[in-house]
Amino acid sequence: MTTIDTPASRLAARALTLAYDERVVVESLDVDIPDGKVTVVVGPNGCGKSTLLRALGRLLKPRGGSVLLDGRELAKLPTKQIARTVGLLPQSPTAPEAITVGDLVGRGRQPHQSWWQQWSEADEAAVTTAMAHTDITELAERPVDELSGGQRQRVWIAMALAQETDLLLLDEPTTYLDISHQVEVLDLIRQLAVPGERRPHGRTVVAVLHDLNQAARYADHLVAMKSGRIVAEGPPGKVVTPELMREVFGLDAVIVDDPVTGGPLVVPGRPWHAQ
Amino acid sequence: MTGTPLTAAKSAAARPAGYGLARRGQASFLVHRRATAVALTLAVLTAAVSVLSLSVGETWVAPGDVVQVVLGQDNPNELVVGTLRLPRLVTGLLVGLAFGIAGALIQTVARNPLASPDIIGVSQGASALTVGAMTYGIGSYAVLPWLSVTGGLVAAALVYVFAWRGGLHAARFVLIGIGFAVALKSVTQLFLTKGDALMAQQAKVWLTGSLNGRGWDASRPLLWTLLIALPFLFWAARAQRTVSLDDDTATALGVRLQRTRLGLVLLGVVLASVATGAAGPVDFVALLAPQIARRLTRTAQIPLLSSALMGALIVTAADILARKLFAPTELPVGVLTAAIGAPYLMWLIVRSRTGGKA
Ligand SMILES: Nc1ncnc2c1ncn2[C@@H]1O[C@H](COP(=O)(O)OP(=O)(O)O)[C@@H](O)[C@H]1O
Ligand SMILES: [Mg+2]
């Protein structure tokens, strides 16, 4: 018997069990996503990161337990209200054939519109800002299927930004990006969490990243997963340890101080030429 | 990207490229410019072909006289044009509109042009029940539309149930649909051979999709269905914007995907079935019209209005050819649409087998 406490954070999971058909991927997981912070989820391929994110964004119905948004069960909230509060960028979204960049980004405004109010000044402002922040303003009239992988990824991020949600869930937003655009997207994610006029507490961001060093560098809160369980969570400085690297990734690693940030830097040990 | 201030500059680039904005008070509507131009052109073309359709026949009636009759002015050709030819034209127009919309809706949901009501068993279900009734002497236009809708819905429901495996996969949906279409065609043949020979002969003509002798009583149920469907089509046009994205993205935008899809399919199945009831299965119009329309408008989703008008244009133009090609022998219009549609269908199948995106 589990009793549901009222979590301190806006988005949380309690005794969450997630499954595809008969296959249980995540079992009885508890997590609190700190408000106004950047939470980064790491873990080996197939450990259930995307599955967890999809459940937090209501794309996957829990087999057991619940996801709580502002203390209320996600499954019981109106979908449109959720979509105005929580945005999610899936790991590999696909665009309809021949859609233009501006058109796709504009569709992020869906939860703010109705059939008789299809485009407002607020929509215009949100889309302009989102496109400027992802550096795609010049691409507005180009068809999405003619873009490079990196450009396309930035278009999808812009679409999620245009949704203007307080909480944003991003599944591997830096895949396909070259190193400089990776850094730009990560900087942008950090900037989203900075308090501003419209959001005194800043946005809450949850991102799945596969680069551990980027995760350690950009996260306020790091969540390490393995086989559907959370193995460790907390500030990167506390979480990233040689023991954890061995347990989660099966990797012998040395942790040194990042010469730029002073945070943890993972250096894989025993490279092939040192054996 | 990071240097830009968080407050947005006003810019025309923000409105989706290619769209104009129609505003009235609080209400605002996005209007795709090219799609609007295409729809207008198709409307003008359809009007012109309609006038031509009323002009040709055993006797030629000048277009000027045709227009006078249609506008309700006194004209000696009133009987030929107004009483004999106009009902047939109107039936053809409505059938084309309905098939065009039905194809657009179902293709949108399945994200696959092959998933047209005339390919996946809806038309065949409507036909089977209608022919069954006809061969047992039920031929009243008060009953037939209900029968065809029932047949179409039952066929669609069966395809849905058999294709469902914890989710709907487009390819399986299409394959099972084609299977049902073939099975239902044999049921129709069974009715034809078992039933009364004279009735079966009439049913056979109906089955090829013919506008010959279709009067007002054939088109009335279809007209009502289209009028009632109209407000739902406004909803559908907006729903298409999100349904054409991938499932996860659409759901993240707050769309109740299963419910929306069901609504769109239901609308399409009813329209296709009633149209089948009015003129028989005029094959391939539902497959062709949306695909041609989309290539013309270059929109990200299949345009409803242009698909509807393209359907009307195809049926009306094909009916003129059907009447004149081997005059005085009339071909059923369904033979003509099949002659264009079948090669296109084969091309689609070949292309999907070689891995191309249809
Ligand atoms: N749609 C699905 N159907 C069945 N199994 C799935 C599905 N999506 C993911 N899985 C399985 O669930 C497990 C976790 O997947 P996922 O959450 O995508 O992992 P990660 O994002 O951490 O790489 C994997 O074993 C994967 O095979
Ligand atoms: Mg993943």
| CA dihedral sign of residues A63, A67, A71, A77 | negative
**Pairwise CA distance, residues B116 & B136, whole Å:** 29
Nearest to A99 among B11, B21, B300 (CB): B300
pLDDT in tens, B160-202: 899 887 777 777 888 899 999 999 999 998 988 887 788 888 7
A47 lines ligand 1 (CB under 6 A): yes
B352 confidence band (pLDDT: 50, 70, 90): low
User: What number does the ligand 1 atom closest to the CA of A91 have?
Assistant: 21
Which residue's C-alpha comes closest to atom 7 of ligand 1? A20
Contact: A83, B17; criterion CB under 8 Å: no
Q: What is the mean pLDDT of residues A189-195?
A: 86
Q: Which residue do the tokens 């698909």 mark?
A: B307
Query: How do strand A204-208 and strand A38-42 relate by DSSP bridges?
Result: parallel
pLDDT at site B141: 74
Spell out the domains of chain A, with CATH numbers in brackets. 11-271 (3.40.50.300)
pLDDT at site B8: 39
Q: Per mean pLDDT, which range of A72-86, B105-119, B206-220 is the poorest?
A: B206-220
Q: What chain B residue is nearest to A22 in terms of C-alpha separation?
A: B166
Kindly write down the DSSP assignment for every residue of A101-169, as one continuous string: HHHHHHGGGGGG-BTTB---HHHHHHHHHHHHHTT-GGGTTSBGGGS-HHHHHHHHHHHHHHT--SEEE
Nearest to A88 among B245, B252, B255 (CB): B252
Nearest to B235 among A101, A115, A129 (CB): A115
Instruction: Tell me the pLDDT of chain A averaged across its residues.
Output: 90
pLDDT in tens, B249-278: 999 999 998 899 999 999 999 999 999 988
**Pairwise CA distance, residues A149 & B135, whole Å:** 60
| pTM score | 0.89
Q: How far does the CA of residue B144 sit from the closest CA of chain A (Å)?
A: 35
Nearest to A102 among B17, B166, B235 (CB): B17
User: What number does the ligand 1 atom closest to the CA of A172 have?
Assistant: 21
The answer to whether A37 and A8 are in contact (CB under 8 A) is no
Instruction: Residue B4: list chain A partners with CB under 8 A.
Output: 129, 132-133
- Put the strands of the sheet holding A86-89 in their side by side order: A86-89, A167-171, A204-208, A38-42, A221-226, A229-234
pLDDT at site A5: 66
User: Domain B89-352: which topology?
Assistant: ABC transporter involved in vitamin B12 uptake, BtuC (1.10.3470)
pLDDT at site A148: 87
The answer to whether B121 and B265 are in contact (CB under 8 A) is no
d(CA A138, ligand 1 centre) in Å? 36
| A 42-81 residues inside an 8 A Cβ radius of B | 54, 57-59, 79-81
Instruction: Residue A153: list chain B partners with CB under 8 A.
Output: none
Which residue's C-alpha comes closest to atom 20 of ligand 1? A46
**Pairwise CA distance, residues B46 & B245, whole Å:** 32
Interface contact A82, partner B, CB < 8 A = yes
Instruction: Residue A112: list chain B partners with CB under 8 A.
Output: none
Domain map of chain B by residue range? 89-352
d(CA A17, ligand 1 centre) in Å? 14
pLDDT in tens, B44-92: 999 999 999 999 988 899 999 999 888 888 888 888 888 888 999 999 9
Q: Per mean pLDDT, which range of A84-88, B25-29, B315-319 is the poorest?
A: B25-29
Q: Which residue do the tokens 């065009």 mark?
A: B100
Q: Which residue do the tokens 């030819």 mark?
A: B85
pLDDT in tens, A257-275: 888 888 888 988 765 655 5
pLDDT at site B3: 42
* % pLDDT > 90, chain B: 45
> Which of A50, A63, A67, A99 should we substitute to test contact with B (largest number of B Cβ atoms within 10 Å)?
A99
What is the maximum span of chain A, computed from C-alpha positions, in angstroms? Answer: 68
